[in-house]
Amino acid sequence: MIQSILLVALGGAAGSVARFLVVTAAGRMMPGWPLGTLVVNVVGSLAIGVAYVLLAQRAAIAPLVVAGFLGGFTTFSAFSLDAMKLWEGGQAMQAGAYVAASVILSLAAVALGAALARSITA
């Protein structure tokens, strides 16, 4: 278990740095629009799809790559993988509900969090 935690931490650090670099570079290319976040989410989702298939037989390295690097790079990839697994498992309604609930509840949560913080600092 300790080894897995260390792998996740190492991968997470690398993924976070990679995200920072991508977002920073994209912000210079298109200021005022979250191009970097879009790129990170799409690339991360592509990468987790590849990792999901290729690392299925390599459980020892999966924590480094999936939970670690990709988790640090973008949690959106995990969301996308979970939705895909529901869809592929024949649970189309659950996949749709999961996607809708995740987006709606996350937007509501960020608005609530910002409102709470503003009320505290006002």
**Residues annotated as binding site?**
71, 74
**Residues annotated as binding site for Na(+)?**
71, 74
SS3 label, residue 90: coil
Cβ neighbours for 67, distance < 8 A, ≥ 6 positions apart: 8, 11, 12
Which of 66, 49, 57, 54 lies closest to 7 in space, CA to CA? 66
